[in-house]
Structure 1
Amino acid sequence: MSGSAPHGRVAEWPDPAAGSFLIVSVGADPVTAARTAGRTADAEAIGSTRLVVLDDVDHPADAAALADALAAARTGVRILLLGGRYDVLQAAARAREAGAIPAEITLETTHAVDLPVYCAHCRGTHRVAADPGERVLCPGCARLLEIHDHLAGTLGAFLASDTGEAPVRAGDRGGPGLGGAELDGAGHGDRAFVG
């Protein structure tokens, strides 16, 4: 994903009409580092550029650094968010919360290993290794959730709700007549069965 309205934009980077640039790079993977170096050089050739490198958008020190960079941004800035899907979507939500509009935000994901999921039951946003349409055990409330193909931009997360099935660990089919979804050791499930 290189960006998608209304959560971000797909645009030529860098925008030559920008007043300045804020590049936020999250994660230590080599693809993110290489893309960040290239995008930063491109932006610096046009105008004032600030680069913020974070390890994890949820770590308190990194969250504070992101908040500070967003607070210092002014009208005309173009914000590029690079990194894994979870971190980019969460950073985009924080940028919008800080006052950035979709036209100012460009998203560039370098991997889709993890996904931000908002549980409608415990009302928490969690990092999970799954995709929309899949089922996952909620890290917050332990319900078996179905991840919907609906990205809530203000939350920076995909919405998920209880499947109504009881989660059952792999190899434990429960008693006769008990339905549920079988989960692997990581809490993921994609098979429904009746015991």
Structure 2
Amino acid sequence: MLKVGIIGANGKAGALIAKAAVVRDMAVTAIVRHTTDGDSAYEVLQKDLFDLTQTDIQAFDVVVNATAFFADPEKFKTSQAHMIDILKDSGVYYMVVGGAGSLYMDDTRTTQLKDTKDFPDAFKPVAENMAAGLDLLKASSGFDWTYVSPASDFTPMGGLTGRYEINGDIFTPDEDGKSFLSYKDFAQAFVTVMTQPKYRNKQISLHHV
């Protein structure tokens, strides 16, 4: 049975990933700063991400980072730096709930979505720091990782359809120019990616089809 630790398991994406993992008969531990009634379905490790040690994470086969630092965007970068430090030579596979802003616009890989003229200014601090955290992962060694970017319209609205596509690090809208995915479909796809080694050590993207 795969042992999965989910940092931020009581957040929107993290909670759904935890549920999807349990459906696949994985043993889930919620790694959270504050416990809630909903955590009773899983083992719980009450600890802040920045206080985690290599000893803490070596209990797991996979560690998922589903934290959200929208009020303090720089932590999207510094949290990756901390995780890289404790993951090195741990034998633990690391997965990140990322953002769409770091996806490239075409295969020249010269422009990212966050740098396009229509990208909302309000989201740029988050996107810049998430992209910086991804760059740290790309430069890291000593452990396997996958950075999972959702569609640009990533919404808690919408049900589980099972209709999603897994792509690489290039932004892939549909034929109408839209890029959409519900949190529920994202969670299902995320756990599918978790079980497939071909997606390791790269950024991938998910969107509805």
TM-score by length of 1: 0.34
Q: Which has the higher contact order (CA 8 A, sep 6+)?
A: 2
Q: Choose between structure 1 and 2: higher helix proportion.
A: 2
Q: Name the structure where strand makes up a greater proportion of residues.
A: 1
